[in-house]
Amino acid sequence: MQLSQLLEPQHANLRGDVHGGWIMKLVDEAGALSAMRHSQCRVVTVAIDQMMFLQPIRIGDLVTLEASLTYVGRTSMEARVAVTAEDPIKGGQTYTNTAYLVYVALDDRGKPKAVPSLIAETDLEKRRMDEGAKRQEYRLRQRESELQDLDR
Ligand SMILES: CC(C)(COP(=O)(O)OP(=O)(O)OC[C@H]1O[C@@H](n2cnc3c(N)ncnc32)[C@H](O)[C@@H]1OP(=O)(O)O)[C@@H](O)C(=O)NCCC(=O)NCCS
């Protein structure tokens, strides 16, 4: 799944640097689209892992988000979204960041709904799936400790 957008002045600060929050929104949209395509239903974002911005993105850059699913549970799907930016005049693509997000498929009543499993064929897909399973275990432990914090 690929999503591209030309970045305009409303996406940036007065110095011409694009807001990180705008890129986060695009990352979320690209990941959600890949989850929707896989599950063929509506999804909600349930977790966003840390995001780092390795390079600035400027007004006039064409940003491209490449999203693919890396791990699928029963109702949840982890998407990997890689972001690159290109100055259309100078050319050349700059890698800016990769993020992992988790979506949950919902049925018509808004309840989590089972999704088709993900088949990893290549070594890269298998490695990413194993890593995704470990990240998901970690997130669920984090969720438990957040829920415990609420009770205190
Ligand atoms: C997503 C949501 C419906 C899940 O409800 P729930 O009662 O926690 O349901 P479950 O416990 O059955 O979890 C559903 C799936 O989400 C996964 N999940 C739940 N919380 C998670 C978290 N913090 N991180 C990663 N995965 C999570 C579960 O592991 C489960 O996956 P699986 O079926 O593949 O094993 C509910 O948490 C929700 O509505 N969250 C708000 C979503 C939202 O509004 N997002 C937009 C941000 S404003």
pLDDT of residue 151: 81
Average pLDDT value for residue range 82-111 = 96
Above 90 in pLDDT, residue 27?
yes
Q: Which two tokens stand for residue 25?
A: 């929104």
- For 69-83, write each residue's pLDDT tens digit: 999 999 999 999 999
Q: What angle do CA 115, 77, 106 make, to 5 degrees?
A: 55
Q: Percent of the chain at pLDDT above 70?
A: 100
pLDDT of residue 20: 95
Domain residue spans of the chain? 2-151
66: left (phi over 0), alpha (psi -120 to 50) or beta: beta
22-27: long-range contacts, CB 8 A cutoff, minimum separation 24: 23/53, 23/57, 23/63, 23/83, 23/96, 23/97, 24/48, 24/51, 24/99, 26/63, 26/65, 26/83, 27/51, 27/65, 27/81, 27/83, 27/99, 27/101
Above 80 in pLDDT, residue 11?
yes
The residue contributing the CA closest to ligand 1 atom 3 is 112
Centre of ligand 1 to C-alpha 32, Å, is 14
- For 33-52, write each residue's pLDDT tens digit: 999 999 999 999 999 999 99
Q: What is the pTM of this model?
A: 0.96
Domain 2-151 top-level CATH class: alpha beta
Atom of ligand 1 nearest to the CA of 72: 34
Average pLDDT value for residue range 2-14 = 96
pLDDT of residue 37: 98
Residues in the chain: 152
- Cα(40)–Cα(82) distance, rounded to whole angstroms? 22
Q: Is 56 in the pocket of ligand 1 (CB under 6 A)?
A: no
pLDDT of residue 152: 75
Average pLDDT value for residue range 128-150 = 96
Residues in a beta bridge with 58 = 17
Above 90 in pLDDT, residue 150?
no
Confidence of residue 60 (pLDDT cuts 50, 70, 90): very high
